[in-house]
């Protein structure tokens, strides 16, 4: 039986990806590294420090900075990101998400947030959807980030369900990798050419429903 739905946040519940992009783009510019939208795709679902490492490698300066300098760059990016997201309201919840959360509540399924973002609790509060979730996995508590399965395995455990009794919803290729590595059914939101390894790909969140999730899980 399908018992739990594990939700990625950025790109699934709300579109913070554009704010991550702007903050990384500006930090990159300060370091003389171009972060364009195509390269930004590779940062989706990837932790803050791993995103910085990828940007530095992309700029050919992987070994130039100390750990303390990298820490300072991450803090700067995050401070900028936090400024950008302060204006978020419930109107920024992506289409179809709120009806789905209500449907899942009524059907008695568990709902867990499995986001790589350390800002997830704050964003859920801004969106006023915290009460629709039974738990949030702390990304700092898992050994390895996406594409490793850890965060989704932790999400299943938090839901009190086996991986086979869960479904994961993701917008990033690294996130779909993580769901599949956890032996969980994956529903992806976005471009099928990037997310084709998911069990089902939907163009956008408005097509999400409990019926679609159940149908995918039962396939």
Residues labelled catalytic: 8, 10
Window 13 to 52, contacts with Mg ion (CB under 5 A) = 45
Determine the Cα–Cα distance for residues 154 and 163; give it in Å rounded to an integer: 10
Is residue 8 a contact point for Mg ion (CB under 5 A)?
Answer: yes
**Which of 11, 135 has the CB closer to Mg ion?**
11
Is residue 119 a contact point for ligand B16 (CB under 6 A)?
Answer: yes
User: Torsion angle of alpha carbons 169, 156, 141, 128, nearest 10°?
Assistant: 50
Binding residue for ligand B16 (CB under 6 A) from 5, 43, 195, 201?
43
Binding residue for ligand B16 (CB under 6 A) from 116, 167, 176, 182?
116
Which one of ligand B16, Mg ion, none interacts with residue 123, CB within 5 to 8 A by kind? none
Window 51 to 90, contacts with ligand B16 (CB under 6 A) = 51, 78
Task: For residue 52, give every residue at least 6 positions away whose Cβ sits within 8 Å of its Cβ, in sequence order, or none.
Answer: 70, 73, 74, 77
Is residue 177 a contact point for Mg ion (CB under 5 A)?
Answer: no
Alpha-carbon separation of residue 139 from 32, 48, 134, 146 (angstroms): 30, 11, 16, 10
Is residue 216 a contact point for ligand B16 (CB under 6 A)?
Answer: no
The separation between the first and the last C-alpha atoms of the chain, rounded to the nearest angstrom, is 13
């Amino acid at each position: 039986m399908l018992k739990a739905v594990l939700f990625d946040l950025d790109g699934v519940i709300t579109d913070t990806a554009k704010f991550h992009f702007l903050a990384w783009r500006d930090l990159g510019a300060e370091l003389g590294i171009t972060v364009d939208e195509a390269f930004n795709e590779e940062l989706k679902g990837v932790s803050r420090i791993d995103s910085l490492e990828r940007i530095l490698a992309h700029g050919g300066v992987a070994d130039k900075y100390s750990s303390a300098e990298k820490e300072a760059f991450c803090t700067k990016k995050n401070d900028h990101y936090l400024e950008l997201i302060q204006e978020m309201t419930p109107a920024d919840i992506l289409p179809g998400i709120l009806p789905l959360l209500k449907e899942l509540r009524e059907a008695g399924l568990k709902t867990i947030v499995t986001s790589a973002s350390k800002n997830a609790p704050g964003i859920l509060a801004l969106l006023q959807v915290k009460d629709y979730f039974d738990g949030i996995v702390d990304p700092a508590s898992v050994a390895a980030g996406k594409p490793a399965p850890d965060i989704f395995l932790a999400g299943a455990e938090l839901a009190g369900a086996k991986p086979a009794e869960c479904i994961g919803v993701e917008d990033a290729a690294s996130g779909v990798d993580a769901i599949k590595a956890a032996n969980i059914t994956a529903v992806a939101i976005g471009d099928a050419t990037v997310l084709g390894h998911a069990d089902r790909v939907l163009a956008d969140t408005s097509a999400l429903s409990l019926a679609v999730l159940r149908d995918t899980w039962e396939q």
